[in-house]
Copies of this chain bind each other. A is one copy, B any other.
Amino acid sequence: MSENGAHGARDTLHRETSALDLRSGATVDPPTSPALPAHATAQIDRGAVPPPRAAAAEPEPPALRTVEAHLEEILAAVPQPEPIELAVLDAQGLLCAEEVVSARALPPFDQAALDGYAARAEDVAAATPDAPVELAVVGETAAGAAPVSSLAPGQAHLVTAGAMLPTGADVVVPGVWTDGGVVRVQVHAGPEAGSYVRRAGDDVSPGTAAVHVGTPIGPAQISLLAAVGRDRVQVRPRPRVAVLSAGPELVDITTQPAPGQVVDVNTYALAAAARDAGAAAYRWGILPTERRRLTEVLESQLLRSDLVLISGTFAGSGDQVQEVLAELGPMHLRQVTMHPGAVQGFGRLGREGVPVICVPGEPVAALVSFEVFVRPAIRSMLGKRQLFRRTVQAISAERLLSPLGYRQYLHGQVMRHPDGGYVVEPLGGGDEAMLARMARANCLIVVDEDVTEVAEGGLVTVMPLLLGG
């Protein structure tokens, strides 16, 4: 494991943080009515509620952390796995990790770019439809292995696209500009020297780099790699991400939940999100409750993973998962000034210091936290330069309220405005559950910490959630 990825990640981060004036840790006024209005906090997490005025007189609460501070800690700590060699088709979507130097010229030989007659440009320069030039057709070459032939003045050679050019020829006269003769040919127009000819090495000359370090490998790069004879290539591998969930209320998807129990949805949703972000995700499932077995599972996943992702409702004290994590290394659970997802955890655990990210157990908060913290971490591990989704400014179709000092993430539907720009409609509202509504969203609306209200028609920042395909 190398850690050389942290610098690029930090550089990128600065663009995201520069414009923000955060008020972390400040005590804030309670809303006049504690019941939050529509389109305010969609999901409330443990500790996410601003204290009432009375609390200001009491001892300072534990310092709150900004989204940026937590994200920066994670991005600075996630390593970039060492490059591996893969078959070119398996390298699709990954970043090239070597300078691929071509041993060959591309194209490998001078060739016809289309069907016609290989000729000498000077022979046909004067040809017109009214005064055609006649040449002797002395041979015929199709694409494919062929002996080298040559052309004397006044001669032409029938060629098909891709066929090797005879020596002496410096132009291909398209067949449609001739009378199509087989023994002798009448040429009606003379292309300039070099026309319809692909010269050896025009594209890539031997010894030059065809694909560079850091290039994302798509179909065009695969085409080029194949052309220079490479069927394998060094790439930044997909980070192996183990996805686990914790909580005494959880049962597996195939179990009918008893009263008080809920189905483990997060290992499915987070594994899907991790895969979408480019990771090789491994859905482990619900952590066992027996302590020795719990330790074994965590230790085993730390050995097999580049990143461990755990969702759960971690109790303030006496939580067994938290205790076991603490035995494996410094795991910090922190109050982060965001809604939803106010409790976030990060640590580097085990002998190898494998990064472990803890996100809330509430499914909406879990996926929002993934977007904010885990997706950038996975992209950093992949070596990507753009860690964050592009955001756009959109006109809010409704009034939005947001608690002061907290960055709020709301699910919404963003669409193009007929007059240009974007309009966004928040989905659902209040403190209702949001699972079905989240599934209808195509974006997150981001309301900054220092904003408490966005008027209908006001501008908000929107993060479109584009999925692959």
List chain A positions with a Cβ less than 8 A from chain B.
Answer: 30, 33-36, 43-55, 61, 88-89, 92-93, 104, 106-109, 113-115, 129, 141-146, 148, 160-164, 174, 176-177, 188-192, 194-199, 202-204, 210-211, 215-216, 218-227, 229-231, 247-249, 253-254, 256-266, 268-273, 275-278, 283, 313, 315-316, 361-363, 367, 370, 382, 384, 431-439, 441, 465, 467-469
Contacts and interface: CB of A to CB of B under 8 A. Distances in A.
Given A107-B262, A441-B220, A43 B113 contact: yes
B46 A435 contact: no
A176 B227 contact: no
Nearest to A205: B436
A249 B141 CA distance: 11
Contacts of A256: 229
A259 B109 contact: yes
Given A145-B259, A220-B439, 19 more contacts: A34-B190, A36-B195, A47-B114, A104-B257, A108-B259, A143-B313, A144-B261, A160-B315, A161-B361, A199-B432, A203-B432, A219-B367, A220-B269, A225-B268, A226-B253, A229-B254, A230-B253, A382-B469, A468-B469
Contacts of A142: 248, 315
Nearest to A379: B469
A240 to B, nearest CB: 16
Contacts of A283: 89
So how many copies of this chain end up in the complex?
A: 2
A52 B177 contact: yes
Nearest to A174: B49
B114 A45 contact: yes
Contacts of A315: 142, 160
B114 A195 contact: no
A160 B46 contact: yes
A456 B266 CA distance: 53
5 nearest A-B residue pairs (beta carbon): A54-B129, A35-B192, A223-B269, A144-B248, A468-B468
A204 B114 contact: no
Contacts of A143: 247-249, 260, 262, 313, 361
A30 B128 CA distance: 11
B439 A44 contact: no
Contact of A144 (B160, B190, B260): B260
A368 to B, nearest CB: 10
Given A49-B114, A164-B260, A265 B223 contact: yes
Most chain B CB neighbours (cut-off 10 Å) among A174, A199, A256, A260 = A260
Contacts of A160: 46, 313, 315
A262 B361 contact: no
